[in-house]
Amino acid sequence: MTVYAQPGTEGSLITFQDSYDNYIGGEWVAPADGEYFENVTPVTGQVFTRVARGKAADIEKALDAAWAAFPKWSAKSATERADILWKIGDRIDANLEKIAVAETWDNGKPVRETLAADIPLAADHFRYFAAAIRAQETGTNEIDSDMVAYHFKEPLGVVGQIIPWNFPILMAAWKIAPALAAGNTIVLKPAESTPVSILELIKAIEDLLPAGVLNIVNGFGAEAGAALTSSPRIRKIAFTGSTTTGRFIAQQAANLIIPATLELGGKSPNVFFEDVADKKDDFYDKALEGFALFQLNQGEICTCPSRALVQESIADTFIPDAIARVEQSVQGNPLDTDTQVGAQASEAQMKKIKSYLEIGRQEGAEVLTGGDVAHLDGDLAGGYYIQPTVFKGNNKMRIFQEEIFGPVLALTTFKDFDDAMSIANDTLYGLGSGVWSRNWRTTYKAGRAIQAGRVWTNTYHNYPAGAAFGGYKESGIGRETHKMVLDAYQQVKNLLVSY
């Protein structure tokens, strides 16, 4: 067990600045109107720094820098760009602990996750897209004996990227790495509640990137965010966040006639078929672990398996065992490597989750465990903690239909395969899903029947760079991760040549 010191205190790996500026044209630049906003750590609820409150003028400045950098960056060979991305990946690895502690402090997520998953995965995405752009091929067609069609993939130009607060660094890596690999330059806005870890990451890698290739403007959605997504000077928008904001951004993209990649909300089903209950080997244990994964990242994951569907025939044994597994999770100081469940990312998010705990009760759902805020001691008393909660109810309830984005599971039972699929698909969303069975035919059939972009089969919450990620239905448009994403940051030039 390691307990990292709180940033700024003796022995801490990281000390945050008193204030952070925007990063534009390779320099740290104060906001045009001099305004800053306070940034709070959800671990203790205390303000720990101030951040530039960017607005339209700052976005314009960043767009100037990004367009100025575009000709040179896009003219670099794929190998040259790949070399830089590869070095960024290595640099992130070299600063693992420091960046992991920064992410934990800014977001409230346990350091065991930032050390083992968020930061190493971010580094890996840079290296993956470095390799992918070098391996990318384009087609040549011989139309007839006198004519050949050559196809070239060209970058789009300056792209706008809007990052959520649940995985600040990983979501930034998912967006930055393919965009830069493909030869674009970027203006990126972090989420206002978690901007600082991204800025610390930039400090660690800034010497590797030519000025203006990557620009960061901090600020609020309605100010810096809206100025970026409505600008006629961007050639694409990539957004991760709520479906409500995503819908608005899609309308802006339609007006600008630019592509939009939208990673939005989810209400993912996690389906447990009766054959998981056979205890002859460790599969049962694996399934219980998969059930408990709704608590990962405090449930603040768009793919959170927030609906569990358990076959009726095993409900009497499986559900108590699964609840016991949930109750084994250690909630506490996010800077302690033993902690599995940390703090919600903001006070607003904690209040939203709390309101759903009330809604669940009012709807008549049964509380099987949890059901309240968690009161921690000492410094942590002011932080934003919620008890992992399991409700039992039915799929018509609001807690089954609306994205709560917290450690709150809505559990129900099903009779047979068709019943399971009908409940699983009875949602506006289609991002993640899980299927658990020893029977390959069952998992395959369920995997094909569930209307979602990702179906984890006998596993959950793996995010390898080489697997496509994205939503069906109201969960979004387009994909992230996997080399196919390069296409979303490129346009095809056809040279039709007559000989």
Q: Which residues of this protein are in contact with ligand NAD, per CB under 6 A? A: 162-166, 189, 191-192, 220-222, 225-226, 229, 240-242, 245, 248-249, 263-265, 302, 349, 352, 403, 405
Q: What is the DSSP code (8-state) at residue 381?
A: G
Closest by alpha carbon to 128, among 75, 73, 198, 181?
181
If the CB atoms of residues 388 and 471 are measured against ligand NAD, the closer one turns out to be 471
CB-wise, 124 or 192, nearer to ligand NAD?
Answer: 192
Cβ-based nearer residue to ligand NAD, 212 or 221: 221
Whether 263 is a known active-site residue: answer yes
Q: Kindly write down the DSSP assignment for every residue of 256-315, as one continuous string.
A: HT--EEEE-----EEEE-GGGG--SSTHHHHHHHHHHGGGGGGG--TT---EEEEEGGGH
Q: How many CB atoms lie within 10 A of CB 416?
A: 12
In angstroms, give the least distance from the CB of 329 to ligand NAD. 22
Distance separating alpha carbons of residues 48 and 41, to the nearest angstrom: 7
Are 393 and 409 spatial neighbours (Cβ–Cβ below 8 Å)?
no
Q: Which of 113, 192, 223, 263 is catalytic?
A: 263
Minimum CB–partner distance for residue 262 and ligand NAD (Å): 9
| Pairwise CA distance, residues 79 & 247, whole Å | 37
Taking the least distance from each CB to ligand NAD, the nearer of 248 and 283 is 248
Tell me the C-alpha to C-alpha distance, in Å, between residue 413 and each of 199, 202, 278, 315, 361: 45, 47, 18, 7, 19
Task: Look up tokens 């992410």; give the residue.
Answer: 103
Instruction: In angstroms, give the least distance from the CB of 297 to ligand NAD.
Output: 10
Which string of DSSP letters, residue by residue, matches 174-218?
HHHHHHHHTT-EEEEE--TTS-HHHHHHHHHHGGGS-TTSEEE--
Q: What is the largest CA-CA distance in the chain?
A: 80
Residue in the shown chain whose Cβ atom is closest to ligand NAD:
221
Task: Name the minimum Å distance from CB 345 to ligand NAD.
Answer: 8
Kindly tell me which of 188 and 421 has the beta carbon lying closer to ligand NAD: 188
Question: What whole-number distance in Å separates Cα of residue 105 and Cα of residue 95?
Answer: 16
Q: Minimum Å distance from CB 305 to ligand NAD? A: 14
Shortest Cβ distance from residue 164 to ligand NAD (Å)? 3
Active site residues: 263
